[in-house]
Structure 1
Amino acid sequence: MAISHLRNEWAPNVTRELLAGTVVALALIPEATAFSIIAGVDPKIGLYASFCIAVVSAFAGGRPAMISAATGAMALVMVTLVKQHGVQYLFAATILTGFFQIVASVLKLGNLMRFVSLSVVTGFVNALAILIFLAQMPELIGRGPTVYAMTGIGLAMIYLLPRITKAVPSALVTIVLLTAVSIYFGFDIRTVGDMGALPSELPFFAIPQVPLTVETLQIITPYALTLAMVGLLESLMTAAIVDEMTDTTSDKNRECAGQGAANIVAGLFGGMAGCAMIGQSVINVSSGGRGRLSTLWAGAFLLFLIVVLGRYVAQIPMAALVAVMVMVSINTFQWGSLRSLLVHPKSSSFVMLGTVAVVVWTHDLAKGVLFGVILSGLFFAHKVTHFFAVEADRQGDTTVYRVTGQIFFATAEAFHSAFDFRQEEVRRVVIDLSAAHFWDISAIHALDRVVLKFRHHDVAVDTVGMNNATATMVERLAVHDKEGTKLAPGH
């Protein structure tokens, strides 16, 4: 049983896992190089990071088949640190990032994914698909007819070959054949080697050469916290997407710890901080990767490619990789979400479109997701207020108020305003809470205001029907039954 579980987790189909990992490794090279350039560091730092993070997360991560490596979102955070303090501080910040992510795992922050709505996830995916597509434009615009032709032929091969055979990932066949054609005909087009020199030596263990002082900690901590947050957010979102693609579940808290361990190792071996990559993960899953072996092989084969086969890898035309990434963007985009705009609630559609707009505008996935989550929360709070009501029933000198719905910060003021404090000849008020629930301190404060205000007008107040949770909060937090309590000024 254990062996069967291990096989399913690591390599449901060894051949498919290795082939999928090979495609990912080839596609990682230009991306890791580009992200290194964005961060202002040598290309080898991004490549070493991609190797370390992919290999470690294969063992420690919580989501089989997900690819983690150096990413653009993380690279953008590092620019100022590298510019002002140098690359050694980047390595130190990367290690501290990993530590913070492990702490996040201990605190089970991975469970916070339950608060991210489907609209936000869809917006995140669509925005990322658009960003992946836009990132290919510099390799296409103005590059000449040869590049256009090769990219078009590459896309045709990627989509048509699976109709003939699925034995080998079509993306891998495309890269190999277009590279062979480019070399044979001697096309003068941009290649992987034009992006930067590939390293020829293995990464080695080294403690970052920074002073072990409080000042160093003050410098790197803000960057490490930001990197940890961005990395976890992107990784957990990507894990959710791979869960959906493969119809499986993953351990989000283990993923937090796995990302942390991977970043610590990357920092100790001369790499930059990284996280999960949705583009590469889609390539892996689309190519047949389902287990941890594909992730492990992607990292290991990446190192083999750059160190041993670097001179051949450098000749891969960018047009071939552009074709693969355009395919990724097309497959990643949730095309059904466009039709859903007509049938889904307007609030859900607005959240999805807002998430896309913020991500594409800022090129910051974290800001877009945060915007979407906040917007979802506001719409939810607004929706809940419509299920709140207070009905009054006058019975002689007694008025019974029946409260229905959820009382929290968004409905607290409406709750207070629903009571008539100046009814003549009313000597007693009963507040029936059997159909209500109090959620927070704002709700309890509103109840205090109501009770104390009635008492201020010499009206006796009884509260009845509280559920256990509400009664516990009232007992702990309410002040209207405390001795010596008086009505606050202005109430």
Structure 2
Amino acid sequence: MRFHPRLLDTLPGYNRTQFAHDAGAGITVGVLALPLAMAFAIASGMSPTAGIWTAIVAGFLISLLGGSRVQIGGPTGAFIPIIYAIVIDYGVANLLIASMLAGMILIAMGAFRLGGMIRFIPISVVIGFTNGIAVVIFLSQIKDFLGLQIDQLPGEFFSKVSTLAGALGTTHLPTVALATASLALLIGWNRLAQHIRWMRRLPGPLGVLVVGTAATALFNLPVDTIGSRFGGIPQAVPALAFPELDLSNLGKLIAPALTIAMLGAIESLLSARVADGQIDDRHDPNQELLAQGAANLIAPLFGGFAATGAIARTATNVRSGGRTPVAGIIHSVVLLAVVLALAPLAHHIPLATLSAIVVMVSVHMGEWHAFKTLGRFSAAYRTVLLSTFFITVVFDLTLAVELGLVMASLFFIHRVSDLTRIEPVPQDNAGIDPRIQVFRLFGSLFFGAANKLESLLVAADTRPAVIVLSLDKVINIDTTGLEILQNLHRTLAKQGASLVLCGLNAQPASLIARSGFATQLGEANIVGSLEAALARASACAAKAGELSPSPLGGASPVP
């Protein structure tokens, strides 16, 4: 494919006015991204430093190389359960390797132009695993929200719930009070901002982070902070280093890497498509996948981890006036400047406040209204959505998506099979030979509807001399459907009868010609209209008694 970042399209004619809009948007999004990057990293079992450098490096590359004008990249809440599980099972070094493998997969998907394929994932699967991820994220925050004394929270659902329940007796009241106050302030931030001018200048998450940090430092609150748990944030650019590779674990990381790649592709392209509607533009999905791949390949070299397009930050960028990738680049520069200038202040950031921010994200990311409207949709839709949701929460996101796609495919096959039918066409014309049977097929003649045509192979009370199949209502035939037609032709030939096809649409006609079946059947037995088919059938029926014996023991149809 052609490598062409959208940044190149926006540079011609770029002016100071547009730069001013992009700079304002970039600063706003950069300020918003700071608390989110730290919160998502901590919830994923990583250090806040890893989250910040993921946002800096991945955000820069996604804007520089991406296929969207306004996409903002970085760590997102959707990755939390995946990253946490990999860290628990394989360690941080192997997480970085898995992220790099995911980057290679995304680059390959973009190079082979698979960006459009992501749109084929059913909405029921997307909503099911999105809501499931939201629940998993919420559960992961109970420990820090309540200040529970747990060394390491298990990744498996039942063990996690059991551990949380067993540790409820260690609930730390000052932590609960700070987390609850932070969550309440976050919920009411926009309402308060209508009456307090300075609050309008800060995004809610950053404002709550500032207030929570100030309260912790001024009153010396006895709560866990970034300083007490992680030792603070280094005020320097991390050394470029390749993560240690353990070849014995490489095979085990393929499945997690595929999960990271698929979720990253889905979320980034969904974010880009939402942004398109806001700015009246159209992104390049394959170029976007290339950028996402490069971001996930390079960010781990700086200690970062999996990244993708962030819907909330992208929407904030658009609302703030960003219209070119320059805004996303500035967002990364702002984060870099904050780290280099203000890193020591992060020592007092309370984990309870960061936990409240992630809880708010989990509540907002779920499409909870979908549960209320389930009754309006089919049983297949409800089954796929609820199954995907349940498996995501209780077992594993990868398994949930796989089973969701399989179930959705099976329901689709069943539905299309129901729509495929074959009906006899009555012939009122007295001149038509009664030994001619005419049938019209509707829908798609594929492997899921094979039984519909096989009924014609069952011997009837009076064997027909000719069967006419009108296929003008058939939109598609696959190789299984073609084989059924061939079997019908061979069975009729053994009986000294003929098969006539008429009204073939483009795809069925092409397959029948390419497979050689048109030659086997005889070009004269493939006609355009039902009238022509009846005429041909009448000729075949009239000569049925003159047929020569066939090599199979029956008779051969009239050529």
Question: Where on the TM-score scale, by shorter chain, does this alignment land: which range?
Answer: 0.7 to 0.9
Pairwise CA distance, 1:399: 0.9
Q: Which residue of 1 aligns with 2:106?
A: 101
* 1:190 alignment partner, SS class: coil
What displacement does 1:273 show? 4.4
Tell me whether 232-241 or 443-452 shows the greater mean CA deviation: 232-241
Partner of 2:349: 316
**2:234 aligned partner, one-letter code:** P
Alignment check: 8 A CA contact 2:178 2:212 kept: no
Equivalent-residue separation in structure 2 for 1:116 and 1:243 (angstroms): 14
Higher-Rg member (1/2): 2
Please say if 1:179 is aligned against 2:213. yes
Within 5 Å, which residues of 2 pair with 1:61-140?
61-63=66-68, 64-69=70-75, 71-72=79-80, 75=83, 78-79=86-87, 87=93, 94-140=99-145
- Cα pair 1:22 1:297 within 8 Å, conserved: no
Aligned mates of 2:469, 2:369 — CA distance in 1: 48
Q: Cα 1:357–1:159, aligned 2, differ >3 Å: closer, same or farther?
A: farther
User: Which has the larger displacement, 57-66 or 447-456?
Assistant: 57-66
Of 227, 250, 264 in structure 2, the residue corresponding to residue 234 of structure 1 is 264
For 2:395 and 2:18, locate their aligned partners in 1 and report how far apart those are by CA, in whole Å: 37
**What code does the residue aligned with 2:28 have?**
L
Letter in 2 for 1:243: R
Which residue identity lines up with residue 75 of structure 2 in the other structure? A
Offset of residue 72 of structure 1: 3.4
3-state SS of paired residue (1:57) = helix
Pair 384,478 (structure 1): closer, same or farther in 2 beyond 3 Å: farther
In terms of mean alpha carbon deviation, does 347-356 or 194-203 score higher?
A: 194-203
In the comparison of the two structures, how many residue pairs are matched?
471
The residue matched to 1:421 in structure 2 has which SS? coil
Q: Partners of 2:25 and 2:487 in 1: how far apart?
A: 66
Aligned positions of 1:420-435 closer than 5 A: 420-435=458-473
Distance 1:319 1:76, change over 3 A: closer
Q: Matches of 1:130 and 1:4 in 2, distance apart? A: 45
Q: Give the TM-score normalised by the residue count of structure 2.
A: 0.73
* Higher RCO, 1 vs 2 (CA within 8 Å, ≥6 residues apart): 1
Give 1:411 shift: 0.4
Query: 2:161 matched to 1:161?
Result: no
Aligned to 2:415: 383
Structure 2 counterpart of 1:329:
362
Mapping 1:330-409, distance limit 5 Å: 330-364=363-397, 366-393=398-425, 395-409=433-447
| SS of residue in 1 equivalent to 2:367 | coil
Q: CA deviation at 1:180?
A: 1.0
Counterparts of 2:229 and 2:211, CA distance in 1: 21
> 1:452·1:480 contact (CA, 8 Å) conserved in 2?
no
Report if the CA contact (8 A) 1:232-1:275 is conserved. no
Which residue of structure 1 aligns with residue 240 of structure 2? 205
Q: Which residue of 1 aligns with 2:449?
A: 411
Instruction: Label 1:377 to 1:452 Cα distance change in 2 as closer, same or farther (>3 A).
Output: same
1:38-68 deviation line (CA, Å, top 9, x unaligned)? xxxx775565444322221121123433332
Conserved? CA contact 1:284–1:294, under 8 Å: no
Name the counterpart of 1:436: 474
Shift of 1:184: 0.9
Distance 1:204 1:331, change over 3 A: same
Distance change in 2, residues 1:438/1:237 (3 Å):
same
The one-letter code of the counterpart of 1:446 is: I
Contact 1:50/1:274 (CA < 8 Å) preserved in 2?
no
Task: Say if 1:97 and 1:260, in contact at 8 Å, map to a contact too.
Answer: yes
**Alpha-carbon separation, structure 2, partners of 1:201 and 1:367:** 40
Paired residue secondary structure (1:434): strand
Structure 1: which 5+ runs fail to align?
Answer: none
1:22 corresponds to: 31
The range that moved more, 336-345 or 244-253, is 244-253
CA positional deviation for 1:15: 2.5
SS at 1:422's partner residue?
coil
Q: Unpaired segments of 5 or more residues in structure 2?
A: 1-8, 147-170, 427-432, 522-549, 554-559
2:376 is paired with a residue of what secondary structure? coil
Question: Could you tell me how far 1:470 is from its partner in structure 2?
Answer: 0.4
CA contact (8 A) 1:100 1:225 kept: no
SS at match of 1:390: strand
What's the TM-score, normalizing by structure 1?
0.82
CA positional deviation for 1:297: 4.5
Aligned to 2:154: none
Equivalent-residue separation in structure 2 for 1:306 and 1:161 (angstroms): 29
2:486 paired with 1:448:
yes
Root-mean-square deviation over aligned CA pairs: 3.6
* 2:307 is equivalent to residue 275 of structure 1: yes
Per the TM alignment, residue 107 of structure 1 is displaced from its structure 2 partner at its CA by 0.7
Structure 1 equivalent of residue 329 of structure 2: 296
Separation in 1, partners of 2:403, 2:249: 28
Distance 1:162 1:120 in 2: 37
Distance in 1, matches of 2:551 and 2:304, equals: 58
Query: Do 2:435 and 2:465's aligned partners in 1 also have CA atoms closer than 8 Å?
Result: yes
Percent of pairs with identical residues: 20
Are 1:188 and 2:222 an aligned pair?
A: yes
Q: Retained in 1: the 8 A contact 2:37–2:74? A: no
CA shift for structure 1 position 91: 5.6
Q: C-alpha separation between the residues in 1 aligned to 2:392 and 2:474?
A: 39
Shift in CA distance, 255/246, structure 1 to aligned 2, threshold 3 Å: closer
Asked if 2 retains the 8 angstrom alpha-carbon contact of 1:30 and 1:195, the reply is no
Query: What is the identity, as a one-letter code, of the residue corresponding to 1:128?
Result: I
**In structure 2, how many angstroms separate the alpha carbons of the residues matched to 1:440 and 1:116?**
22
Task: Find the aligned partners of 1:148 and 1:77 in 2 and give their Cα distance.
Answer: 25
Question: How far apart, in 1, do the equivalents of 2:109 and 2:138 lie?
Answer: 32
Does the CA contact (< 8 Å) of 2:83 and 2:95 recur in 1?
A: no
Maintained 8 Å contact 2:469/2:501:
yes
Deviates more, 1:146-155 or 1:400-409: 146-155
What corresponds to 1:54 in structure 2? 59
